[in-house]
Structure 1
Amino acid sequence: MAQERRVHLSKSAPEAYQALDAFSKAVGRVAADAGIEPRLTEIVQLHASQLNGCAFCVRVHVDRGVAAGLDADTIAQVATWRESGVFTERERAALELTEAFTFIADEGITDELYDRVGSILSEGEYVALSWIIVSINAFNRVAIAGRYPVPPRAAAQT
């Protein structure tokens, strides 16, 4: 990706970025109250970031996912979750919901998806995951538009 200078939205309008950060923290509290564990939160945020092509957020959520207990195999399988057997039914429902929200302009949240996911997740889990996905999609757009850099890691960090 070109290294040309771009407007850095978080620095150019810190009040707006702080509001987005506060929103994200509120979403985190909603998720915790609904029983959404950090592992699931990171799987969802990682997948949305992959779908959006946000390398910066993929890096962030791989690191956070490892801290939340995700292993390398699970992280590698997120992109191919439909063909993988490593995810629980609940995680698969969350991943499917992630795709629907991320590509919402394509079909919206169809009745079939809503019913399928709703048969697996509680209403509180559905609500919390929906807000997590809305939040990460907003952060993806900020990072992509600003071309946030993702430099190679030092050898000791790999």
Structure 2
Amino acid sequence: MTTTTTITPARRLDVDGVAPAFTRAVSALDDAASAEADRAGIEQGLRDLMKLRASQLNGCAYCVDLHSHDARAAGESDQRIFAVAVWPEANFFTARERAALALTDSVTRLSETHVPDSVWNEASAHFGDDELAALLALLVSINAWNEISVATRGWRAKLRG
């Protein structure tokens, strides 16, 4: 019989407790990004896949858990959710989704990529200016949440049965 022990990294900082105005401001940023995505008509499943991908790249376990469940609730299949980690090799994302995921990778890895023209131009071929602004807002927001969560170990994913 195998026993498993759950390891929980120590919380470094209760950012909600010590900087509540800051986390409220980040929440307001997230709300504004969602409102822009609503206004631009960005489909919920794509939003969740982008947030999932950014969270994977940033190593944010809490957000990977959250956005994988959100994507499923938005109607995304397990196959597509699991394949976000390897989206360039997966053949079941549309050209539009691939452009959004490439933008996600490039913006999330900003210091490495500086978002090259090729990535931006491909996204521009599939999204109008309002949509691109909404995608960028979503990416800035999720990357901010990822940075806070990873740096502080402030939030925990819960094991779901």
Q: If the length of structure 1 is used for normalisation, what is the TM-score?
A: 0.92
State the distance in 1 between where 2:33 and 2:9 align. 32
How much has 1:9 moved relative to structure 2? Answer: 1.3
Residue in 1 that maps onto 2:30: 24
What does 1:92-111 align with in structure 2 at a 5 Å threshold?
92-111=98-117
What does 1:3-152 align with in structure 2 at a 5 Å threshold?
3-147=9-153, 148-152=155-159
Q: Which runs of 5+ in 2 are unaligned?
A: 1-6
| Structure 1 runs (4+) greater than 2 angstroms displaced | 1-5, 148-153
Q: Which moved more, 1:105-114 or 1:40-49?
A: 105-114
How much has 1:2 moved relative to structure 2? Answer: 5.6
Q: Which moved more, 1:37-46 or 1:103-112?
A: 103-112
RMSD of aligned alpha carbons: 1.3
Q: Which runs of 5+ in 1 are unaligned?
A: none
State the distance in 2 between where 1:17 and 1:149 align. 16
| Partner deviation per Cα, 1:84-110 (whole Å, 9 max, x = no partner) | 111111110000000110000112111
| Partner deviation per Cα, 1:92-148 (whole Å, 9 max, x = no partner) | 000000011000011211122221211121111111101100100000011111212
Q: Which moved more, 1:119-128 or 1:134-143?
A: 119-128
Percent identical pairs in the alignment equals: 37
How much has 1:152 moved relative to structure 2? Answer: 2.5
